[in-house]
A = this chain, B = another copy of it.
Amino acid sequence: MARESTARQKLVDAALSLVRTKGYAATSVDELCARAGVTKGAFFHHFANKDALAVAAAEHWSEMTGALFRDAPYHRHRDPLDRVLAYLDFRKSLLKGAVPDFTCLVGTMVQEVYATHPDIRAACDASISGHAATLEADIAEAMKLYGVTSFTAASLALHTQAVLQGAFILAKAKGGPRIAAASIDHLRRYIELLFQPKDHKGRTRQ
């Protein structure tokens, strides 16, 4: 059983690496087996097909990134706005290494398969939307504290993920993280402007 679990996890890890490098459709079962160091028999023991591995990879991605963000330092700030801004600083600090190392498995997969593989699309949506939801309480608390009412916390949480996903596409187009960091800076500036403390005359404090 332990050996079987290891083979399964090796295939999931191979999917994370290969799909982030060359996309989902271009990654073959043979390549996944070769990268994982397992036989094709082992593959089909654990997964009915490549799509089933993709769903498992998206779920593993959600768990793995879930733990990373849950344990990250940005939750320690007392002010909810500081927590949201520190989340963006943390995202920016993750823009390290080669492009496949910092870009997103589920954003990459859903881009290709949204119309053709409903199960993978749903697993990717659950991953992106589930992560966005972890930001909602902090955003809602900041909106209440700073008297901001012109959008919902859920909408701003999803927008942060849109910016990150788009930043990854520009990083892929330009071959490096610099452009993605610049978009996170714009997003941070947006959130600072949204939550500027206002005095009782409605003027923004400088």
Which A positions have Cβ atoms within 8 angstroms of B?
21-26, 99-100, 106-108, 110-116, 121, 124-125, 128-129, 150-151, 155-156, 158-159, 161-167, 169-170, 172-175, 179-180, 182-183, 185-186, 189-190, 193-194, 196, 202-204, 206
State whether A111 and B172 are in contact (beta carbons under 8 Å apart), knowing that A23-B25, A151-B186, A189-B150 are contacts in the complex: yes
Q: Which of B112, B156, B203 contacts A206 (CB 8 A)?
A: B203
| B26 close to A175 (CB less than 8 A) | no
Known A114-B175, A158-B182; further 10 A-B contacts with Cβ < 8 A: A22-B116, A23-B111, A23-B112, A108-B112, A114-B172, A121-B172, A124-B173, A125-B173, A165-B165, A190-B190
Q: Could you tell me the distance in whole angstroms from the C-beta of A178 to the nearest C-beta in chain B?
A: 10
State whether A182 and B165 are in contact (beta carbons under 8 Å apart), knowing that A108-B112, A206-B202 are contacts in the complex: no
Question: Most B CB atoms within 10 A — which of A125, A159, A202?
Answer: A159
* Chain B: CB-nearest residue to A172: B114
Q: Which of B23, B24, B108, B158 contacts A183 (CB 8 A)?
A: B158
| B170 close to A161 (CB less than 8 A) | yes
10 contacts between A and B (CB under 8 A): A22-B116, A23-B25, A106-B173, A114-B173, A162-B183, A163-B183, A165-B170, A166-B169, A190-B190, A202-B206
State whether A169 and B179 are in contact (beta carbons under 8 Å apart), knowing that A23-B113, A100-B115, A202-B206 are contacts in the complex: no
Q: Say whether chain A's binding surface is mostly helix, strand, loop, or mixed.
A: helix
Query: In whole angstroms, what is the CA distance A106 to B172 when docked?
Result: 11
| A175 close to B121 (CB less than 8 A) | yes
Q: Could you tell me the distance in whole angstroms from the C-beta of A186 to the nearest C-beta in chain B?
A: 4
Q: Inside 8 A of A162's CB, which chain B residues have their CB?
A: 163, 166-167, 169-170, 179-180, 183
Q: Inside 8 A of A151's CB, which chain B residues have their CB?
A: 182, 185-186, 189
Q: Inside 8 A of A129's CB, which chain B residues have their CB?
A: 173-174
